[in-house]
Amino acid sequence: MWKYRKLLISVVGGLGIIGVWSGGNGFPVDAAEGMTKDKKPLERAFPHSNKCKRCHERVFEEWEASPLSQSIHSAPFRVALDRYLDTERNRDRTFCFRCHAPHILEYPEQADHFTKEVQSRDPLIDGVGCAQCHLVNTVDSTVKPPHPHFALGKTVFGGYKKPVSNLAHQSKALDLFKSSTFCLMCHEALPDRDKEHQMPGLLGDWKNTQANQKGKACQSCHMPEQFGESANGERNRKVANHTFPGRLGKLQQEAAELDIQTEVKGKTSVVTVTLQSLVPHNLPLPHPGWVSVILDLTIKGKNLRKVYGENRVYTRVFADAKGKETVFDFEGVTVVKDTVLKPEETRVETFSFPTPKDAPSMDVIVTLRYEPVKGPSDFLKAIEQASSRGSKDPVFQSIDIVQKKINVLLK
Ligand code: HEC
Ligand code: HEC
Ligand code: HEC
Ligand code: HEC
Ligand code: HEC
């Protein structure tokens, strides 16, 4: 077994040296010298995820199924990027890429190349691929948003202290990879427009949550521990899931608890919903700016016909420099309304409505769900045109998070 493994490593690893950092001189490029003629070509400094796939098939397949592998591919991203570049001509062209394809930070002069890749609809460059995370060496948390520093050598960084050696890369464990700090570089906040317009962060007060005080980092929920191999043919051990469950996936069940109280007072009924968010950060996270979650109340009377509906909207509303409301957070200079559910918040919502007539009972159905994209009609039309699925693009669909249904006797 040991012999076999060693052989496997040397054969595959041997190819790896040629394949992963092909032709690279192997010397880490200092970020400050990034502009010198010694700068490696982009694709050598940040090997494509396909090159890691050969030895890390399990991780690759999980990542490929995750939203992260689509960070510069979606129609809404393409259309919103176009709008940013059109309307915000005097601003930084790397703005969106700093999180959606963060290797731009080392190659800011290639903003046009990145943009063309996105516009091609089928980018050949990675967005948030393996190297974009695993070459991060430190994160500077004193700036907003926190800024990653890459070490562009042949060492990959990770969270595992005892990786077996291989010939494709050196491995080094850093506590950073087990810490929320790592995720904050992209999830904490958008860069401010200027000093006068400081915008609130995306996550809310996540530090003072029970989850964080119990030592639960982002990874513990979004990269859940599982048992499996890390590299092909290696020993099974505890590994981190790379499908990044969030809006989709099992985490939904852990997002919120709903409690429903009803009171029938003759012609009027009152439903009180106690919604307890179990999420240790804002829900929804208010980027992109059009995101919203609603709490929907549906009442069904005789023959299960819907007789009443009402909802509450949890979202952040931005206004641009002229004071006009906008769904484009990158145009926003102020927040005019903020109803997102705060970390671990309990919210009580009361609805009153006419008691259904001639019915022996009513169904009270309460659903917490993500709403489809919203915004100006030319924007929605552009997404439809940009998407290979047209009006069936997932962004036009709502996603249920939790639902609760009770039946209330009326007489
Ligand atoms: C380099 C920037 C970057 C880093 C670092 C990063 N993310 Fe993300 N993350 C993104 C982007 C961009 C998306 C959106 C991808 C898309 O849908 O196009 C995303 C999406 C996600 C999603 C899916 C969201 C949804 O709506 O379902 C989860 C969950 C997530 N990230 C968790 C994490 C965690 C946990 C970490 C830290 C271990 C992390 N991310 C680190 C940029 C990053
Ligand atoms: C500070 C990092 C950061 C910046 C800057 C940023 N994004 Fe994002 N973006 C994210 C993260 C993280 C997500 C995933 C959010 C989630 O699911 O909660 C995301 C999600 C999105 C999504 C939804 C997922 C998708 O791919 O369709 C769109 C669209 C989007 N961003 C567009 C943009 C545009 C356009 C810009 C530039 C104007 C931009 N973003 C700038 C971090 C960033
Ligand atoms: C958004 C950032 C991010 C991306 C993208 C990402 N990883 Fe990871 N990866 C991490 C973090 C953080 C850990 C440590 C998680 C922990 O230990 O809790 C990790 C752990 C690992 C590990 C060691 C533990 C394990 O699960 O075996 C390997 C190997 C790995 N990643 C390979 C890859 C490969 C290959 C890709 C691309 C297909 C990739 N990663 C994409 C952030 C990322
Ligand atoms: C020739 C095969 C091979 C290739 C190609 C390869 N790796 Fe690995 N990698 C391994 C082996 C073997 C391990 C050790 C696994 C173990 O100990 O269970 C490993 C471990 C890792 C770890 C864990 C390190 C830690 O301390 O947590 C990370 C992260 C990682 N690789 C990322 C990558 C990335 C990113 C790429 C692509 C740029 C890549 N690997 C390409 C074979 C390879
Ligand atoms: C205790 C578990 C837990 C921890 C810790 C946690 N989250 Fe979440 N997160 C959730 C749940 C539950 C959801 C909601 C799932 C759903 O939408 O159905 C969620 C949703 C998300 C989403 C996608 C939903 C959206 O509204 O855009 C992102 C992105 C995300 N979390 C990032 C993070 C980051 C970054 C951290 C660390 C600062 C973190 N999470 C810490 C449980 C957790």
Locate CATH 2.60.40.2360 in the chain.
Answer: 250-409
Q: 184 φ, ψ to 5°?
A: -65, -30
Count helices and strands (H / E) in the chain: 12, 15
Residue nearest to atom 36 of ligand 2 (CA): 96
CA of 136 to the centre of ligand 1 (A): 15
Mutate to test the pocket of ligand 2, among 68, 86, 100 (most ligand atoms within 8 A of CB): 100
Residue ranges of the chain whose pLDDT lies below 70: 1-19, 21-37
Determine the 3-state secondary structure of 311 from DSSP. Answer: strand
Residue nearest to atom 26 of ligand 1 (CA): 247
Which architecture characterizes domain 250-409 according to CATH? Sandwich (2.60)
State the residue for tokens 């004193």.
142
CA of 84 to the centre of ligand 5 (A): 27
Q: Determine the pLDDT at residue 7.
A: 42
Question: Ligand 5 atom closest to Cα of 220?
Answer: 5
Supply the DSSP string of 174-209, one letter for each residue: -GGGGSHHHHHHHHS-PPPSSTT-PPPPSS-SGGGS
CA of 68 to the centre of ligand 1 (A): 6
252 lines ligand 5 (CB under 6 A): yes
Q: Kindly state the tokens that stand for 191.
A: 């860069």
Question: Ligand 3 atom closest to Cα of 225?
Answer: 18
- DSSP bridge pairs for 258: 275
Residue nearest to atom 17 of ligand 3 (CA): 159
Q: Integer distance in angstroms from the first to the last C-alpha of the chain?
A: 73
CA of 286 to the centre of ligand 2 (A): 10
Supply the DSSP string of 23-87, one letter for each residue: T---PPBPGGGTTSTTPPPHHHHS--HHHHHTT-HHHHHHHHTSGGGGTTT-HHHHHHHHHHHHH
* Torsion region of 121: left, alpha or beta (phi above 0 gives left; psi -120 to 50 gives alpha): left
Among all bound ligands, the one having the nearest atom to the CA of 243 is: 1
Residues framing ligand 3 (Cβ under 6 A)? 49, 52, 56, 59-60, 63, 68, 128-130, 133-134, 158-160, 177-178, 182, 219, 223, 230, 239-240, 242
CA of 227 to the centre of ligand 2 (A): 31
Quote the CA–CA distance of 275 and 279 in Å, as a whole number.
Answer: 12
